[in-house]
């Protein structure tokens, strides 16, 4: 059984930890509102751009359409963009991404495909760099947070566009945590290249009026597709940033509550041990007095 000094030191240590987790929870909660607003504000723009790309893509001929729209016509080389956090202490946020990325790479390789990986975030890169090795073609850190720079995201998209132009990839997918609510984040796998078009255009809701594109539909598509790629990656990273802060806030709240419960148990154990020691001393004193 631990003595009183050990219990007192343990209680003091847990209280110090509780102060840290409580502070981290408040910091994450303060940042979450801004990150959530950024993620939700980016969704309509990305959705409308995606709808316009789909509208143009349905009319484009596969033989002359840009590779960013229809891919290379093959599916042998796949680039997987994995978005994780730069820091830990956010519950299962990074673990879910790492496990899904590992399963996806294994599934693609089992299907006979060549896989390359681009890492955005330090935690997944540190966890997977040994087993993936040379498959990791690029790794980025410090691009997430409450102030995500579009220029930094566009540089990531530029690497993907360059790989496509060189013929080094046929398909590109992105893996990230989509923000649902402060307590729910969903691991999402989305295809960036080729653009996912509806299989049956007749099932889509018809527009009120047909679009007229100037100078031409092909020229507009050529200009929009690179911007759409950057926008989709930017939106995914905004979603991931909000999800990370929400997961950290929840994890630190649980840690603070658990620390409080542990302090209560240790305090009760301390009081019982102290009472037992006092009782033992009283018995010894009474026994000594009776012996006299």
Active site residue ranges: 90
Q: Tokens 């963009």 — which residue?
A: 81
Beta carbons within 10 angstroms of residue 39's beta carbon: 21
Query: What token pair was written down for 288?
Result: 């000594």
Q: In this structure, what are the phi and psi dihedrals at residue 192, rounded to the nearest 5 degrees?
A: -95, -45
CA atoms within 13 A on the CB side of 223: 8
In angstroms, the first-to-last Cα distance of the chain is: 32
Single out the residue of 87, 39, 101, 14 nearest to residue 251, CA to CA: 87
Ordered DSSP codes for 212-233: --SS-HHHHHHHHHHHHHHHHH
- Angstrom CA distances, 75 to 110, 159, 167, 172, 198, stand at 14, 19, 12, 10, 19
CA atoms within 13 A on the CB side of 217: 15
Contact 259, 11 (CB under 8 A): no
Q: Tokens 């031409």 — which residue?
A: 216
């Amino acid at each position: 059984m631990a003595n009183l000094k050990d219990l007192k030191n343990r209680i003091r240590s847990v209280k110090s930890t509780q102060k840290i987790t409580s502070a981290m929870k408040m910091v994450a909660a303060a940042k979450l509102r801004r990150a959530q607003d950024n993620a939700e504000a980016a969704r309509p723009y990305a959705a409308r751009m995606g709808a316009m790309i789909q509208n143009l893509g349905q009319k484009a001929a596969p033989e002359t359409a840009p590779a960013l729209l229809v891919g290379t016509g093959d599916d042998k080389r796949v680039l997987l963009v994995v978005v994780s956090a730069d820091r830990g202490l956010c519950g299962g946020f990074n673990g879910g991404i790492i496990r899904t990325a590992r399963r996806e790479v294994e599934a693609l390789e089992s299907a006979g495909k060549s896989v390359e990986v681009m890492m955005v975030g330090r935690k997944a890169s540190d966890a997977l760099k040994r087993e993936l090795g040379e498959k990791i073609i690029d790794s980025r850190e410090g691009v997430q947070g409450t102030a995500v720079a579009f220029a930094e995201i566009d540089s990531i998209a530029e690497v993907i566009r360059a790989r496509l132009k060189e013929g080094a990839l046929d398909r590109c997918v992105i893996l990230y945590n989509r923000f649902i609510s402060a307590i729910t984040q969903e691991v999402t796998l989305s295809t960036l290249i080729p653009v996912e078009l509806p299989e049956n255009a007749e099932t889509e809701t018809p527009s009120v009026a047909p679009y007229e594109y100037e100078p031409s539909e092909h020229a507009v598509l050529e200009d929009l597709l690179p911007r759409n790629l950057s926008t989709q990656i930017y939106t995914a990273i905004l979603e991931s940033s909000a999800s990370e802060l929400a997961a950290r806030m929840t994890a630190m709240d649980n840690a603070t509550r658990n620390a409080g419960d542990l302090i209560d148990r240790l305090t009760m154990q301390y009081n019982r041990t102290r009472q037992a020691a006092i009782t033992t001393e009283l018995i010894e004193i009474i026994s000594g007095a009776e012996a006299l």
